[in-house]
Amino acid sequence: MNIEAQCCGLVILICLRYFYSRQRKIGLKSEMIFSSFLYITIAGLIFDILSIVVLTASIGNIPQVVIDLIGKIYIALLVCVSYSAVMYLIVDFYTNRFLNAHFLICIIMASVGSVIVFFLPIKFYVEGRVVYSYGPATIATYIFCFLAFSYMGFCIIRYGKKIPIVRRNAMLIWTAVFIISAGIQFLVPKLLLVSFAGAVGMMITYLVLENPESNIDKRFGCFNSHAFSLYLAEKYANGEKFYLSTVSMIINLDDVTYIEKAVRFFHEFLRELSVFRNIGAFKMSAPEVVIVSEDENEMQKILAFISDKAPKIAERCGLHRPIFTYMPDSTVAQNQSEVLAILETTRIEESNKYNNNEMVIIDGSAVEKVRREEEVAHIIRAALEEDRVEIFFQPIYSIKERCFVSAEVLVRIRMPDGSVLPPDTFIPVAEKNGSVLEIGKRIFQKACLFLHNNKNLEQFGFKYLEINISGVQCEQENLAAEFFDVLTISGVSPSQINLEITETASIRTKAILLKNMKWLIEKGVSFSLDDFGNGRSNLNYLSDMPVSIVKFDQTVTEQFFKKEKVHRITTDVVRMLHNLNLKIVAEGVETKDHLDAMTILGVDYIQGYYFSRPIPTDDFLKFLEAHPAPKADEYETLEAIN
Ligand code: C2E
Ligand code: CA
Ligand code: CA
């Protein structure tokens, strides 16, 4: 169990070295340290084997000084191995200013240890095939290795949170294997386990941490998003500049063959891109490829290549033109998470645009935007936690009934200083990060609580509340059931609820929305189509949406006064909607002129600043009291006058 074990260890390490050298690398510091770690371990094993050979083969023929030298080089390398393990453990601290200091300590300790070991006497025990060293040099080796492991322990305790958990665990396994084998070797010196154990530990480290699979996207053969995070982390930690460009496809869930087409596109694109040598290409989990280079000229060539080739490949694959971005100055972002957030925001934003023919330049303003979004996301989280999400009401007037029959529920965030944050500032962020689901739930609960607490509003002519639901909520399969539970608990009649939807859903989400709508309509809830006429609505949509009210966007009221053509079209649309048995709300009615025009146009309900801005609960209750429905006889008189 001596030289055979060391030879097996050597074979393992040589294989590892071979695979590692063939593997594609991003150029990270951790890769460099692992490579040295591997070389030192191999050198240690070679000298271990050599020392056994010279000791057992012919003690008399080889000068003692050579034998001592080989034995000392071996144990000095053991000291170096243990300090390279420490360096490898902490290599991801690059954000830490003290990293270089830690590296320096390791190098000094390894050098001092090696020199001391070198100058101390060494003795060898040789009996048949049993060979081991002992004496002061060997004891010093144990001491220096022990110091290295204590240092490692100190780093884990002191910087535990900064060390990625996989790295910490892998190095703990490596250390455990090493210490146990050293312990056994110390107690039973005939069992020369350390080198073999070192090789096994190295293999574990390789498989867990430097595993080629973990940085490579198997399907496309380029780097993956994990590798991209590592690349960014190191670039920002070292303050190194780089140039970045992305190519992404717009996700089209309505096309069942979309994924197949996108895979073909990225395959072809990456294959053509492979002629460029000084770049890194990363396939992200979204349909996006990120290309980085430290060479500006190379990046300019890449940009020309992308603009020329990518649209052609997309066309061949039956896809829309891809979205291109270019980040000419990586220092506008401060760290990797900012870059990732900027790329995501830009991709989502650009895919919502109709025309994206230009290369999108990611500059300081994009970064500012992402930072603001972060801030808003924080405000939303705090508001939800501290229950500062409030509802305001904007009364809706019925021309026929001459009273306020309804109100739109509009969300607000109450800031700690008492000021109020309007929804346009936070709803888009909430839709992006998903918190709109929780906001929507709270709004619905609060609206139901309002109806539960104010059962007497009918006396003023008030009938129902209009509540906005976001496109993101519409994608939830259980939306209807959740709403219905709230209605049941609060004892509110479904007929008191009208839900406002907009026309943003794709075919897939439309199917879920329709299912939810059908279910709720059966229970008695009604629906409105919001923002009609804002440029994105189309009449086809109306034909298969079971809504009972259409809400004209504010732009309709505005344009109505400005353009004669709009005037005529609106008149026709009103007639058509009435023929479809739909009621119409005109929004954004600000003046008496607006009101008169909308009345003549024939809309059914009026909402706007002319009557009231959105107001808090108490003000709304006072408003209703002050504007009750006309009494039956008054009403008849009014009817007669008209
Ligand atoms: P929206 O659904 O179109 O709501 C109408 C917006 O028009 C409200 O803005 C309202 O204050 C404003 N408005 C009403 N009358 C007038 C007027 O005469 N002149 C002008 N200039 N504006 C008027 P608000 O409350 O700031 O809400 C903005 C948008 O935020 C809403 O547009 C809606 O899309 C969204 N939102 C509001 N509350 C909620 C909510 O509870 N859930 C969701 N998902 N979205 C909401
Ligand atoms: Ca609305
Ligand atoms: Ca609206």
Tell me the pLDDT tens digit for each residue of 420-464. 999 999 999 999 889 999 999 999 999 999 999 999 999 999 999
Angle ∠(469,530,613) on CA atoms, nearest 5:
90
> How remote is the CA of residue 383 from the centroid of ligand 2, in Å?
22
Residue 402 in contact with residue 373, Cβ under 8 Å?
no
Between CA 605 and CA 466 the distance in angstroms is 12
- Ligand 1, from 384, 404, 427: best to mutate by most atoms within 8 Å of Cβ? 427
Instruction: Report which bound ligand comes closest to the CA of 410.
Output: 1
* Closest atom, ligand 1, to C-alpha of 422: 26
Is the distance from the beta carbon of residue 427 to the nearest atom of ligand 1 less than 6 Å? yes
* Closest atom, ligand 1, to C-alpha of 500: 2
Between CA 155 and CA 83 the distance in angstroms is 12
- pLDDT of the residue at 561: 79
Instruction: Report which bound ligand comes closest to the CA of 610.
Output: 1
- For ligand 1, atom 11, name the residue with the nearest CA: 614
Mean pLDDT score, 590-601: 94
- For ligand 1, atom 12, name the residue with the nearest CA: 588
Between CA 462 and CA 528 the distance in angstroms is 17
For 221: left if phi > 0, alpha if psi spans -120 to 50, otherwise beta; the answer is: left
Mean pLDDT score, 377-382: 97
Angle ∠(27,29,32) on CA atoms, nearest 5:
80
Is the distance from the beta carbon of residue 394 to the nearest atom of ligand 1 less than 6 Å? yes
Query: 563: pLDDT confidence band, cut at 50, 70 and 90?
Result: confident
What does the H/E/C string look like for 147-169?
HHHHHHHHHHHHHCCCCCHHHHH
Share of the chain above pLDDT 90, in %: 59
- pLDDT of the residue at 61: 73
> How remote is the CA of residue 424 from the centroid of ligand 2, in Å?
12
DSSP string, 223-272: EEHHHHHHHHHHHHHHT---EEEEEE----TT-TTHHHHHHHHHHHHHHH
- pLDDT of the residue at 167: 80
Residue 309 has pLDDT above 60, yes or no: yes
Question: Is the alpha carbon torsion for 443, 445, 450, 454 positive or negative?
Answer: positive
Mean pLDDT score, 223-229: 93
Q: Which of the residue ranges 4-8, 38-42, 446-450, 602-606 would you say has the lowest mean pLDDT?
A: 4-8
* Closest atom, ligand 1, to C-alpha of 609: 18
Instruction: Report which bound ligand comes closest to the CA of 614.
Output: 1
Between CA 356 and CA 307 the distance in angstroms is 12
Is the distance from the beta carbon of residue 606 to the nearest atom of ligand 1 less than 6 Å? no
Q: Among 26, 20, 23, which residue's Cα sits nearest to residue 228?
A: 26
Residue 355 has pLDDT above 70, yes or no: no
- pLDDT of the residue at 211: 76
> How remote is the CA of residue 443 from the centroid of ligand 1, in Å?
14
Is the distance from the beta carbon of residue 288 to the nearest atom of ligand 1 less than 6 Å? no
Of 634 and 392, the structure prediction assigns the larger pLDDT to 392
Residue 228 has pLDDT above 90, yes or no: yes
Q: Which of the residue ranges 260-264, 553-557, 629-633 would you say has the lowest mean pLDDT?
A: 629-633
Mean pLDDT score, 181-189: 80
Query: 262: pLDDT confidence band, cut at 50, 70 and 90?
Result: very high
Q: Which of the residue ranges 8-22, 150-164, 240-254, 267-281 would you say has the lowest mean pLDDT?
A: 150-164
Between CA 391 and CA 248 the distance in angstroms is 39
- pLDDT of the residue at 542: 81
> How remote is the CA of residue 23 from the centroid of ligand 3, in Å?
56
Query: 550: pLDDT confidence band, cut at 50, 70 and 90?
Result: very high
Instruction: Report which bound ligand comes closest to the CA of 474.
Output: 1
- For ligand 1, atom 41, name the residue with the nearest CA: 411
- pLDDT of the residue at 402: 95
> How remote is the CA of residue 373 from the centroid of ligand 2, in Å?
23
> 164 Cβ partners below 8 Å, 6+ apart?
92
- For ligand 1, atom 17, name the residue with the nearest CA: 588
* Sheet arrangement for strand 360-361: 223-224, 280-283, 288-293, 243-248, 323-327, 360-361
Between CA 580 and CA 574 the distance in angstroms is 10
Share the mean pLDDT of the chain: 89
> How remote is the CA of residue 529 from the centroid of ligand 3, in Å?
9
- Ligand 1, from 376, 468, 590: best to mutate by most atoms within 8 Å of Cβ? 468
Between CA 464 and CA 481 the distance in angstroms is 20
Between CA 283 and CA 216 the distance in angstroms is 9
- pLDDT of the residue at 579: 94
Is the distance from the beta carbon of residue 499 to the nearest atom of ligand 1 less than 6 Å? no
> How remote is the CA of residue 472 from the centroid of ligand 2, in Å?
15
Residue 434 in contact with residue 401, Cβ under 8 Å?
no
Q: Render pLDDT for 29-85 as a digit per residue (tens, 0 to 9).
A: 888 899 999 999 999 999 999 988 888 775 567 888 888 999 999 999 999 999 999
Of 178 and 494, the structure prediction assigns the larger pLDDT to 494
> 95 Cβ partners below 8 Å, 6+ apart?
162, 233, 237
Residue 448 in contact with residue 486, Cβ under 8 Å?
yes
> How remote is the CA of residue 558 from the centroid of ligand 3, in Å?
14
- pLDDT of the residue at 58: 59
Decide: residue 538, CB within 10 A, 0-12 exposed, 13-18 middle, 19+ buried. exposed
For 66: left if phi > 0, alpha if psi spans -120 to 50, otherwise beta; the answer is: alpha
- pLDDT of the residue at 310: 94
Residue 178 has pLDDT above 50, yes or no: yes
> How remote is the CA of residue 410 from the centroid of ligand 1, in Å?
6
Of 544 and 385, the structure prediction assigns the larger pLDDT to 385
6, 15, 17, 590, 622 from 12: Cα distances, Å: 10, 5, 9, 80, 83
Q: Render pLDDT for 496-543 as a digit per residue (tens, 0 to 9).
A: 999 999 887 666 688 899 999 999 999 999 999 999 988 766 677 787
Is the distance from the beta carbon of residue 530 to the nearest atom of ligand 1 less than 6 Å? yes
Is the distance from the beta carbon of residue 614 to the nearest atom of ligand 1 less than 6 Å? yes
| Residue keyed to tokens 């994206």 | 356
- pLDDT of the residue at 1: 47
Q: Among 211, 148, 141, which residue's Cα sits nearest to residue 175?
A: 148
- pLDDT of the residue at 517: 95
> How remote is the CA of residue 510 from the centroid of ligand 2, in Å?
18
Residue 468 has pLDDT above 60, yes or no: yes
Of 191 and 113, the structure prediction assigns the larger pLDDT to 113
